[in-house]
Structure 1
Amino acid sequence: MRERIQRLNAAHGVRTTPASGYHETITRFYMRVICDYVANEEGMPDGDWALRVDRLLVRYGARDLPLRHYTKERLMSAEARLRWAEPHLRRID
């Protein structure tokens, strides 16, 4: 995932710096949230993807979702941008 996002960014002229571009922790955070959601979503027909996406967005679509798990300072740090940082305020459920 990392490599593909970085290639897409490069194709659009977006450079990865300590303050912008690809962000490892945010990418992996949302990958974990989505994977956990899909693994635990029960009672829904396999083909009903529109309903699954709607439910995902209702549950996890808040713009500030990562900030429920990280302080802004930690999440926006150069270290969290470059490497996965475990949530320190709240576990990812």
Structure 2
Amino acid sequence: MSTLTRPLYTTEKEILDLVNNFRNGTLPVQEWTHEAHLVTALWFNKNYDEFEAICYLRSGIITYNVVTGGQNTPEKGYHETLTIFWCKIIREFINKNRDLTLVDLCDTLFKSQWTSKELPLQFYTRELLFSVKARASWVEPDKLSLT
């Protein structure tokens, strides 16, 4: 479970500001946190189909990294398997909570067990998840299936 005691975002405008600042590369790097990644993925997965959301996130993260002075290399930057993993987790969460507003989805997500940075390691061995192959392309979990 998350340790958040208050909602990350209390208005849809706050979420849209995050997404827009990410998209246009003006989001300060220190604000591009794990939580910000997940909220951005939530927004894209709520507003686009599965493959469009992944395309927007993939290109957006790669671009954001470059614009803000980061790199996308075999060792750091964009990670394809983690991006798709989180999209699958978040899409399933959205499908189970269809009646919630964007703000309530965000709040409920961060009160769940589905936001831990360690969650991918329940599905993947560390060796596979942090391999160059997993960074470059989607790899299926080797510990626990997502389906």
TM-score interval, normalised by the smaller of the two chains? 0.7 to 0.9
Higher relative contact order (CA 8 A, sep 6+): 1
Task: Give the letter aligned to residue 36 of structure 1.
Answer: E
Match of 1:91 in 2: 145
Q: 2:130 aligns with which of 69, 76, 80?
A: 76
Match of 1:41 in 2: 97
Within 5 Å, which residues of 2 pair with 1:51-66? Answer: 51-57=104-110, 58-66=112-120
Tell me the alpha carbon deviations over residues 38-67 of structure 1, each in whole angstroms, 9 at most, x when there is no partner: 01226x4x43x3332222122211120000
Under a length normalisation based on structure 2, what TM-score does the superposition of the two structures give?
0.57
| Aligned counterparts of 2:130 and 2:113: Cα–Cα separation in 1 | 23
Under a length normalisation based on structure 1, what TM-score does the superposition of the two structures give?
0.86
Q: 1:8 aligns with which of 50, 64, 77?
A: 64
Structure 1 gap segments, 5+ residues each? none
| Aligned counterparts of 2:69 and 2:140: Cα–Cα separation in 1 | 29
Task: Give the letter aligned to residue 39 of structure 1.
Answer: N
| Aligned counterparts of 2:133 and 2:69: Cα–Cα separation in 1 | 22
| Root-mean-square deviation over aligned CA pairs | 1.5
